[in-house]
Structure 1
Amino acid sequence: MYNRINVASKLKKILDSAFDEPISVDDGNYLMKLKGSEIYPLLATADAVREEIVGDKVTFINNCNINFTNICHIRCSFCAFGKDANNPEAYLLDDEGILEKAKGAISDGAREFCVMGGVLEDATIEYYEHILKLLKSHYPKVEIHGFSPTMVRDAALNSQIPVDEAFKVLKKAGLGTLPGTAAEILSDRSREIICPKKVNTQDWIDIIKIAHEAGITGSATMMYGHVETMEERVRHLDILREIQLETGGFNEFIPMTFMHEYSPIFLEGQRDLGATGTQDLKLYAVARLMFRDIIPNIQVSWVKMGFRFAQVSLMAGANDLGGTLGGDELSEASGAPDGVNASIKDLSKIVKDLDRVPIERNSEYTEFYPINI
């Protein structure tokens, strides 16, 4: 692999070892700082490890986002979606509005509802329970991937019940999996700047572990390209790895590059924002080499990267394209480059052009459905 490229001996040693075991934090930090042609062998190694771990199948799910409100009282500085309750653009869907969104998705063959929204100041667990029961009463076979650690924590406080009890209530009502949102970057230094009212790093870790203990698996995410350092990105990966080794509750890892153009932090004057293309690729590759089969599924957010760069990222260690989405108002508000809707045909085209195999999945990567297009 290296005989035609001038590769430093340290890099060669790290990449050779990556075929046998997960790389260390120190090695991850070293790889994140690679420049120029040395990035090529990193990407090639990550892609080869991906093939070894998960093969040539690229998965995705036919799903629909149900963003039931954009009202949010914590107003993170990176978010272009949330609105104050008195904003003329604020909305809160009633039962009819929620079911209308769900009905449209079902007609397109959705297997999953992704239920998300702003953090309502007075939301209770009983309110989230109602949304789950509403959807399950009409569409019992559709999986629900919903809410966030911050939403559950705050609603549990409002309902005056412990977080573990809150997850039991939500699971009984139909919650299948938990999005790893609210993780952003697991560094309190950065969180104090971009999301001071959200759960802190330790609280996020504790809540995720409680969810996993309750039998609710889910995704792990990272939003990067804002105020965090490269070292904080790698530390974030290490925290996720530590959690997964303890609980085994993460089904996937989703790096989410920060779309900054409409964010409050950018509009207020912070200009050094947004990851570069090589930073995106290095993050996917380093994640693959740090996780290997610990978190085997690494997802590309095509809605944030666009179809073309999402395809390239599938050659940097990733093996999943997320979902068809059926509308993602959060990403749309941030300036999604290729819109917020994709068809099975759209995603299959990206995969087949790489000579890999597109296949539909369920939320937990335990069932797979062949695609005949």
Structure 2
Amino acid sequence: MTAALADAALRGFLTTAPPSEVFAAARTARDSAFGSSLTYSRKVFIPLTQLCRDVCHYCTFAKAPRGLAKPYLTPDDVLDIARAGAAAGCKEALFTLGDKPELRYAKAREALAELGFATTVDYLEHVAGRVLKETGLLPHINAGVLSPQDYARLRPVSASMGLMLESAADRLCERGGPHHGSPDKAPAVRLATIAQAGEAQIPFTSGLLIGIGETRDERLDALLALRDLHDRHGHLQEIIIQNFRAKPGTRMAAAPEPSEDELLWTIAAARLVFGGGLSIQSPPNLNPGRIEALIDAGLDDWGGISPVTIDHVNPEAPWPEIEGLAAQCAGKGHVLAERLTAHPRFVADPERWLDPAVRKRVTALSDADGLGREGSWSPGVAAPAPGRPGDPLGMGPAPAIARHRALERCLADVEAGREPQTTDITELFSARGAAAADIVAAADGLRRQVCGETVTYAINRNINYTNICTFSCSFCAFSKTSTKAGTRDRPYVLSHEEVGARALEAWEAGATEVCLQGGIHPSYTGETYLSICRAVKAACPDMHIHAFSPLEIAHGAASLGRPVDDFLRMLKDEGLASLPGTAAEILDDEVRAILCPDKVDTAQWLAIIAAAHGVGLPTTSTIMFGHVDRPIHWTRHLLALRRLQARTGGITEFVPLPFVHMQSPIYLRGLARKGPTWRESVLMHAVGRIALHGEISNVQASWVKLGLEGAAALLDAGVNDLGGVLMNESISRAAGAAHGQGLEREDIEAVLARMGRPARQRTTLYGTPAPRPSAAPELAPA
């Protein structure tokens, strides 16, 4: 079917089908693309100037110079508004202004000259850049008709821009029409400008103003014209369907407003014209009492809502309270999620759509789905995590909902011993609100079924024998060279004697395990690793040696010219008892190409772990998440672990490691997020429990990344193990974590006692340690 025939069929359906069928089709398209989420952007409204050369007959925003105290907001005015927004948790600064007022008003030219600028765009570029740099808010610019040169100048100081098409009907510009005397409202002019934004690769917003004299057919003409531009450039992120409001003091004060039926029909039509690829928005402050009807018509976005500033275009229409809007969305089975001014599709492809100066801030404000980051918590911060025992997500009582369909399918698969579907697992990672709470509860049910109520932990010591490394992993703040010294540690190498002494000291303090890992020192060979094992065993024959990541194994084997399995047997003969499943990061080469391009790849990591299992060396498994990765990458990682375990059975536990960002090189370059959000951290443990059910029995929470109280909260989210006390942990500390350096067993047991959960000290392989004399309470610092 040609596009013309398809459009004709769509027109026919929209013209003849009953509204209920139209709305049902729109909802289906919306739900297939956006699931249960409805979005909004928390913003401040900055009316840089209300002077405009156009004279739209319905507008009260534009004013003559005599109606304004000053023609332009000053830079201090702008920054005061932006700072108030940042303090209120806003992420967007919406710049709205009249179109080229200096071409009409001498007062505008004089004011710009006093400010030191020749044009409004000159001034806009300056103040938007200051807002981005000094407050961190993301500018969204609505500056009317712009040239390609204007877009080139404004792109480095904005995350998105917009221009309402309003209508594609030329007749509305004729004498007596609402756009007569407004040269910038000519449809051809506006469509050309929107096309130029696409050529400039700018995330862009457009839409219709309905009820100003256009017909339904003319609305469809406008929507199809916008769709054609989007088909060419891919730059439209949302279509706004805004209903005309008659305002006193305008020429259209007595004009009839569009009916609710017209508004809902147009929203549904926009959804069906654009399908699921774009957001369809309608302003909630212009439609009080219609929220549920708008949702039923296929809307998925509410646009910007400000807790700080009024809607200067519609000052008579107050913003809804965000909490109240969230409750109304929940009543319709949807969760309200905050987004950025750049929508997720553009956040996920920053090299194309975002200037480098803007990308850094967008990345810092976004979550793994490309939506707005929830809360201020990050892994490793000293502030407590939002979750608590009994309420892992920290969201309070969750409303009762029908069970998440993807969750039902996953549970059915794993209970039957089948691998869950990629799409289902990925969908679980993006769950929010009550759906997320349902996933957490299901995971904890599986934990209870497999592990009971007892929480395990080990007494162990970390020995990081060197932090000098020849590899250039972009996330790592631990490794150092003479030219890559971090802010916490200097390059060092521990002697074998010191390694043995630390192992003995740990044994005397009650440890049953030493965990040995280090950088890939340029002078190390496989013999180095064999000697380290000998040193530990010579000092402490009964200590369990849990050592050497797959990267170290690969390096050691290659340096000796031996196959990996041979080298593993050699290590085992010298006392190696198990391997940490670290260096996994994300088992997806798309991500590894960014994080660790010179490290072992996914297939090599899996092969080394399988080889370890093959020679009788069990391993843990890890995932380091929350940097440049997305839920699909997490899913691929979990399924790779599940498949490996199904073949070898050698994995003892799954250990999610939230990315600690503070001193990480990739974060400091503006290319990584601030670690996972708390919701993402909880879901990683919960979804890991579900996806790995029937294969890996133990799920561990890292108190080093989450804090002890945060890790304890996850004991109600599928976690059954708190790892080890990790005397002298240093890798997370090097990245900026406030936690680490070791716990006492009393710390762990006190937290568990408050929760009413039994505690059990375990060995590395989940056995019960043999009785020993009382241990010394403390160790010397590393």
**TM range, smaller chain:** over 0.9
C-alpha deviation, 1:26, in angstroms: 2.5
- Which of structures 1 and 2 has the bigger CA Rg? 2
Does the CA contact (< 8 Å) of 2:414 and 2:691 recur in 1? no
Aligned to 2:629: 228
Counterpart mapping for 1:337-348 below 5 A: 337-348=738-749
Aligned to 1:60: 457
C-alpha deviation, 1:369, in angstroms: 6.8
Q: Deviations over 1:320-344 (max 9, x none)?
A: 0000100111111112233321111
Counterpart mapping for 1:293-308 below 5 A: 293-308=694-709
Correspondence for 2:405 among 10, 24, 30: 10
C-alpha deviation, 1:95, in angstroms: 2.2
Counterpart-to-counterpart distance in 1, 2:398 and 2:667: 44
Q: Deviations over 1:95-146 (max 9, x none)?
A: 2321332233223111001011111223211111111011101111110000
Does the CA contact (< 8 Å) of 1:15 and 1:45 recur in 2? no
Identify if the C-alpha distance between structure 1 residues 324 and 304 changes in structure 2 by more than 3 Å, giving closer, same or farther. same
C-alpha deviation, 1:20, in angstroms: 2.9
C-alpha deviation, 1:259, in angstroms: 0.2
Does the CA contact (< 8 Å) of 1:227 and 1:273 recur in 2? no
Structure 1 stretches of 5 or more lacking a match? none
SS, match of residue 524 in structure 2? coil
Does the CA contact (< 8 Å) of 2:478 and 2:734 recur in 1? yes
Within the alignment, does 1:76 sit opposite 2:473 as a pair? yes
Counterpart-to-counterpart distance in 2, 1:254 and 1:159: 31
Counterpart mapping for 1:30-179 below 5 A: 30-85=427-482, 89-179=490-580
Within the alignment, does 1:322 sit opposite 2:717 as a pair? no
Aligned to 1:218: 619
Counterpart-to-counterpart distance in 2, 1:27 and 1:85: 47
Q: Deviations over 1:56-82 (max 9, x none)?
A: 111111000011000000021111100
Does the CA contact (< 8 Å) of 2:500 and 2:540 recur in 1? no
SS, match of residue 176 in structure 1? strand
Counterpart-to-counterpart distance in 1, 2:615 and 2:764: 17
Aligned to 1:258: 659
Within the alignment, does 1:242 sit opposite 2:643 as a pair? yes
Q: Which amino acid aligns with 1:30?
A: E
Q: Deviations over 1:27-77 (max 9, x none)?
A: 211211111122111111111110001111111110000110000000211
Q: Which amino acid aligns with 1:335?
A: G
C-alpha deviation, 1:251, in angstroms: 0.5
Does the CA contact (< 8 Å) of 2:704 and 2:732 recur in 1? yes
Q: Which amino acid aligns with 2:456?
A: T
C-alpha deviation, 1:12, in angstroms: 6.3
Identify if the C-alpha distance between structure 1 residues 33 and 135 changes in structure 2 by more than 3 Å, giving closer, same or farther. same
Counterpart-to-counterpart distance in 2, 1:275 and 1:229: 10
C-alpha deviation, 1:348, in angstroms: 1.1
Aligned to 2:584: 183
Counterpart-to-counterpart distance in 2, 1:101 and 1:3: 48
SS, match of residue 295 in structure 1? coil
Identify if the C-alpha distance between structure 1 residues 227 and 271 changes in structure 2 by more than 3 Å, giving closer, same or farther. closer
Identify if the C-alpha distance between structure 1 residues 159 and 3 changes in structure 2 by more than 3 Å, giving closer, same or farther. closer
Aligned to 1:20: 415
Does the CA contact (< 8 Å) of 1:77 and 1:195 recur in 2? yes
Instruction: Give the root-mean-square deviation of aligned CA atoms.
Output: 2.2
Counterpart-to-counterpart distance in 2, 1:3 and 1:221: 30
Q: Which amino acid aligns with 1:242?
A: R
Counterpart-to-counterpart distance in 2, 1:363 and 1:306: 21
Q: Which amino acid aligns with 1:354?
A: M
Query: Quick check: 229-238 or 363-372, which moved more?
Result: 363-372
Does the CA contact (< 8 Å) of 1:326 and 1:341 recur in 2? yes
Does the CA contact (< 8 Å) of 1:122 and 1:155 recur in 2? no
Counterpart-to-counterpart distance in 1, 2:725 and 2:466: 21
Identify if the C-alpha distance between structure 1 residues 368 and 141 changes in structure 2 by more than 3 Å, giving closer, same or farther. closer
Counterpart-to-counterpart distance in 1, 2:476 and 2:399: 45
Aligned to 2:735: 334
Counterpart-to-counterpart distance in 2, 1:19 and 1:116: 34
Identify if the C-alpha distance between structure 1 residues 9 and 35 changes in structure 2 by more than 3 Å, giving closer, same or farther. closer
Q: Deviations over 1:273-320 (max 9, x none)?
A: 310000011111111111123100111110111111101111110100
TM-score, structure 2 normalization:
0.46
Correspondence for 2:760 among 359, 362, 371: 359
TM-score, structure 1 normalization:
0.94
SS, match of residue 755 in structure 2? coil
Higher RCO (C-alpha 8 Å, min separation 6)? 1
Counterpart-to-counterpart distance in 1, 2:472 and 2:505: 30
Counterpart mapping for 1:193-212 below 5 A: 193-212=594-613
Counterpart-to-counterpart distance in 1, 2:684 and 2:645: 18
Counterpart-to-counterpart distance in 2, 1:166 and 1:185: 25
Counterpart-to-counterpart distance in 2, 1:35 and 1:6: 12
SS, match of residue 252 in structure 1? strand
- Percent identity, aligned pairs only, is 36
Does the CA contact (< 8 Å) of 2:645 and 2:696 recur in 1? yes
Aligned to 2:593: 192
Q: Deviations over 1:2-40 (max 9, x none)?
A: 995123562563476378346433321121111112211
Does the CA contact (< 8 Å) of 1:300 and 1:321 recur in 2? yes
Aligned to 2:306: none
Identify if the C-alpha distance between structure 1 residues 106 and 370 changes in structure 2 by more than 3 Å, giving closer, same or farther. closer
Structure 2 stretches of 5 or more lacking a match? 1-396, 775-782
C-alpha deviation, 1:217, in angstroms: 0.6
Aligned residues: 371
Q: Which amino acid aligns with 1:160?
A: G
Identify if the C-alpha distance between structure 1 residues 15 and 166 changes in structure 2 by more than 3 Å, giving closer, same or farther. closer
Does the CA contact (< 8 Å) of 2:469 and 2:522 recur in 1? yes
C-alpha deviation, 1:86, in angstroms: 6.2
Identify if the C-alpha distance between structure 1 residues 355 and 55 changes in structure 2 by more than 3 Å, giving closer, same or farther. same
Counterpart-to-counterpart distance in 2, 1:4 and 1:163: 53
Identify if the C-alpha distance between structure 1 residues 112 and 3 changes in structure 2 by more than 3 Å, giving closer, same or farther. closer
Identify if the C-alpha distance between structure 1 residues 257 and 136 changes in structure 2 by more than 3 Å, giving closer, same or farther. same
Does the CA contact (< 8 Å) of 2:469 and 2:521 recur in 1? yes
Aligned to 2:686: 285
Detail structure 1 runs of 4+ shifted over 6 Å in the superposition.
369-372
Query: Quick check: 122-131 or 85-94, which moved more?
Result: 85-94
Identify if the C-alpha distance between structure 1 residues 94 and 4 changes in structure 2 by more than 3 Å, giving closer, same or farther. closer
Q: Which amino acid aligns with 1:45?
A: A
